[in-house]
A and B are shown apart, each in its own frame.
Chain A
């Protein structure tokens, strides 16, 4: 398939053409020409759009595709379609499936299925066997089979002794451990962020401390082991301060924020909206504003969708009984741009892909002549409205349903294929 992108802004810090507006010709999946103006040819599909911007393909590093075992919520196929519509060309999938991804057989299942999908799915291998938090899983073998990094996903490792061993263990093969910061022993029975609003709503609270204690602890373990750690779903101002200090000190720590933590805060829970029940919980307004600043300033390295599909029954019920999580692959970009409208195209490209590529040592992707086309096409203009009709996921547990958001993903070019939205 041959594609000609007309007058496209290149947003790719790794390309010498970064910031320039050019025509780009892609032939048989390879970028063959980037020039101010390229003549039209027969058999070449032309794409032009207002504000058309191209960056290296985006990477999501925390999505639950529920397959195998929980296919009524999502499958690798439906999740990949949602990811493509959300502008992602590569997605890290959570190991919290049934069975869990804790050995090479499960890793290979995802790697193999990924070959036939529009996006590349990269399995996260479990840190502990059965995600039980007791014994280390076979991480070396999983890495050799295609696991991109290691995490117990939505059930982060609680034992500091075990996490210490895991951080040490992965050093042998430059592995990265991903943790969601949530200390169970403090927040276990909570349903929302502890604060003024939880007190007024009569809902048991999860203190910010439940997160901050774990961030603090994990940074100490990182300093001791000299390993690599990525904290995802950072939600409090204090956590951000600790991470910024650890970065300044030179530790190999990076972090990501979710679209929902920059979009909502505990005040939005006044109506007990179960779609806003997430982990870590929506924090205070001050935390949300601090997180937006950290996304702008670079303390936050990546946006992670934390796509957790839940079916209707698990959300249309009492708040206490509702399952946590929000579907987010398809709306991540527009939600973040709506919450933080001033983001530059270059910063968006870093947050949604560039930084993840370097943290997790992915194959380089760049918008340059001669490179394989692994490209996300987007615009900071226009708007996105997720509806039940255009929703690709099997679930629609999101407060963004039928809401107009800023910006739009135009499509992706990956594996020699073009996938356009609409």
Chain B
């Protein structure tokens, strides 16, 4: 089976079949990662560049590990240590790298649509590792993989996405993916952090009361407050945010039911999640990180395979 697309720009343009294919392939790679020898030769003729125009720890390491476990040749690029700092344009940067015979580009960029722009102008396959406030497709795939692994299903599941919805590419990719897979989605957070037209644009419900959202859901995917993306103040203080929207153990205990807690990291401990929740029995945050490698291996493998 093959993907319907040549690039992984977002979940928006994937079909349900594409998503299922990536998730099932990820399961195969997860099995590989349990073996003593965790490496397969699948991409040994492929060169991949990781272009990171924004800071990242988890995603960059996860991609790099996935690439190496698939035996690809890997080139790492960080904007701050490159000619971009000297004013080189994105297109020039990428064309220069491509002239060194690179097959795939994994890119994180602060501007929404930057990978779409590249896809229009260069011949290599593009994998979006997060673009502005638009999408972060591999995060949504690994979140879905982790939800399914923990609860045994996606169809019919109730997922609450909590926090800064407006500035979160994780939220948008999650909403696209989950609603395509038959999951019910509610988003919760302060009204200033929820796009006004969200319920018109996407099949989700909006809740301003976090407690009610938690009571409703099976899984809570808690997002990071992205202070660095807020060009103007959207809530009064982190203190007030944590009082009104932060999740603590007492709140979870009062639900009288078990829910799964997820977070894409990095966590602002004591703001959106208290430490005893992040590290508690309901949390699958580290499983998400583990699954990230298998999911990214699947995505890269399928994209490379499509080209051959």
Q: Do A and B come from one complex?
A: yes
Which A residues are within 8 Å of any B CB, using their own CB? 188-189, 191, 194-205, 207, 271-272, 274, 313, 316-321
Which of B113-121, B239-247, B255-263 is near enough to bind chain A?
A: B113-121
Asked whether, in the complex, the Cβ of A272 is within 8 Å of the Cβ of B196, the reply is no
**Shortest Cβ distance from residue B295 to the other chain A in the assembled complex, whole angstroms:** 21
Assess the B195–A320 pair: CB atoms within 8 A: no
Chain A nearest CB, measured from B111 CB (Å): 4
Q: Is B307 an interface residue (CB 8 A)?
A: no
Can you name 30 A-B residue pairings with CB atoms under 8 Å?
A188-B232, A195-B200, A196-B200, A197-B201, A198-B195, A199-B195, A199-B202, A200-B12, A201-B134, A202-B113, A202-B131, A202-B133, A204-B133, A205-B195, A205-B197, A207-B196, A272-B112, A272-B113, A272-B116, A272-B117, A313-B89, A316-B91, A317-B89, A317-B91, A317-B117, A318-B109, A319-B111, A320-B110, A320-B112, A320-B132
Cα-based distance from A195 to B172 in the complex (angstroms): 15
- Complex interface: chain A residues within 8 A of B231 (CB): 188-189
Q: Is the CB of A199 within 8 A of B201?
A: yes
Q: Are A318 and B201 in contact (CB under 8 A)?
A: no
Within 8 A of A (CB), among B118-154: 120-121, 131-135
Asked if B198 is at the interface of the complex by the 8 Å CB criterion, the answer is: yes
B172 and A202 contacting across the interface, CB-CB below 8 Å: yes
CB-CB under 8 A from B89, the residues of chain A are 313, 316-317
**Chain A: interface secondary structure?**
loop
Partner of A319, one of B117, B133, B196, B198: B117
**What distance in Å separates the Cβ of A319 from its nearest Cβ neighbour in chain B?**
5
B7 at the interface (CB under 8 A from A): no
User: Residue A194 contacts which of B90, B109, B133, B197 (CB distance < 8 angstroms)?
Assistant: B197
Q: Beyond the given A195-B197, A198-B197, A272-B117, could you list 9 further A-B residue pairs with CB under 8 A, ordered by the A residue number?
A: A195-B200, A196-B200, A201-B134, A202-B133, A207-B196, A272-B112, A318-B109, A319-B114, A321-B111
* Cβ contact within 8 Å between B201 and A196: yes
Check B30 for interface membership: any CB of A closer than 8 A: no
A190 to B109, CA, bound (A): 18
Determine the chain B residues whose CB is within 8 A of the CB of A313 once the complex forms.
89
Contact between chains at A318 and B117 (CB < 8 Å): yes
Closest CB-CB distance, A88 to chain B, in whole Å?
A: 33
Could you say which residues of chain A place their CB within 8 Å of the CB of B91? Answer: 316-317
CB-nearest residue of chain A relative to B176?
A: A200
Q: How far is the CA of A318 from the CA of B107 in the complex (A)?
A: 13
Q: B169 at the A/B interface (Cβ < 8 Å)? A: yes
Choose among B121, B197, B200, B202 the residue with the greatest number of A CB atoms under 10 Å from its CB. Answer: B197
Contact A318 B134 (CB under 8 A): no
Nearest Cβ in chain B — how far from A268, in angstroms? 14
Q: Is the CB of A200 within 8 A of B201?
A: yes
Residues B120 and A271 in contact, CB atoms below 8 Å apart: yes
Nearest CB of chain A from residue B223's CB, rounded to whole Å:
14
Taken together as a complex, chains A and B put the C-alpha atoms of A144 and B133 apart, in Å, by 50
Q: How far is the CB of A314 from chain B (nearest CB, A)?
A: 10
Tell me the bound Cα distance from A272 to B121 in angstroms.
13
Most-contacted residue by chain B among A188, A194, A201, A319 (CB, 10 A): A201
Are A199 and B111 within 8 A (Cβ)? no
Question: Shortest beta-carbon distance, A146 to chain B, in Å?
Answer: 40
The answer to whether A203 touches B113 (Cβ under 8 A) is: yes
Once the chains are docked, how many angstroms separate the CA of A194 from the CA of B200? 12
Q: Are A201 and B197 in contact (CB under 8 A)?
A: no
Nearest opposing residue in chain A for B198, CB measure: A199
Chain A: minimal CB distance from B175 (Å) = 10
Contacts of A320 in B (CB 8 A): 110-114, 132
Contact B135 A199 (CB under 8 A): no
Nearest B-chain residue to A203, judged by Cβ? B112
For B89, the closest partner residue in chain A by CB is A317
A270 to chain B, nearest CB (A): 9
Residue of B nearest to A209 (CB): B196
B113: contacting residue among A207, A316, A319, CB under 8 A = A319
Q: How far is the CB of A114 from chain B (nearest CB, A)?
A: 36
Distance between Cα atoms of A317 and B201 in the complex (Å): 27
Expressed in whole angstroms, the Cα–Cα distance for A363 and B83 within the complex equals 55
**Chain A's nearest CB lies how many Å from the CB of B135?**
6
The answer to whether A202 touches B90, judged by C-beta atoms less than 8 angstroms apart, is: no
The answer for the CA separation of A195 and B202 in the assembled complex, in Å, is 11
Contact with A along B195-220 (1 / 0, CB 8 A): 11110111000000000000000000
On whether A202 and B135 interact (CB within 8 A), knowing A318-B117, A319-B117, the answer reads: yes
9 closest A-B pairs by CB: A202-B134, A272-B113, A199-B201, A318-B111, A320-B111, A196-B201, A189-B231, A319-B113, A318-B114
Known contacts A317-B89, A319-B117: A201-B112 contact under CB 8 Å: yes
A284 CB, min distance to chain B CBs, angstroms: 10
Residue from the list A194, A202, A271, A274 in contact with B112, Cβ < 8 A: A202
Please measure, in the bound complex, the distance between the C-alpha atom of A201 and the C-alpha atom of B202, giving whole angstroms. 11
Provide the bound-state CA to CA distance between A316 and B201, in Å.
28
A274 partner residues in chain B, CB cutoff 8 A: 117
CA distance A271 to B10 in the complex (A): 13
Query: Nearest chain A CB to B114's CB is how many angstroms away?
Result: 5
Most buried by A among B91, B132, B200: B132
**Which residues of B lie under 8 Å from residue A205 when comparing CB positions?**
195-197
Q: Are A317 and B90 in contact (CB under 8 A)?
A: yes
Once the chains are docked, how many angstroms separate the CA of A318 from the CA of B169?
17
Give chain A nearest CB distance to B254 CB in angstroms.
33
Q: Are B195 and A201 touching (Cβ within 8 A)? A: no
**When A271-B120, A272-B116, A272-B117 are in contact, do A202 and B201 touch as well, CB less than 8 Å?**
no
Docked pose: A194 CA to B202 CA in angstroms: 14
A222 to B121, CA, bound (A): 48
Determine the chain A residues whose CB is within 8 A of the CB of B90 once the complex forms: 317-318
Which of A201, A202, A317 lies at the interface centre, i.e. has the most chain B CB atoms within 10 A of its CB? Answer: A202
* Residue among A189, A191, A197, A200 with most chain B CB within 10 A: A200
Rounded to whole angstroms, the CA-CA distance of A213 and B202 in the bound complex is: 27
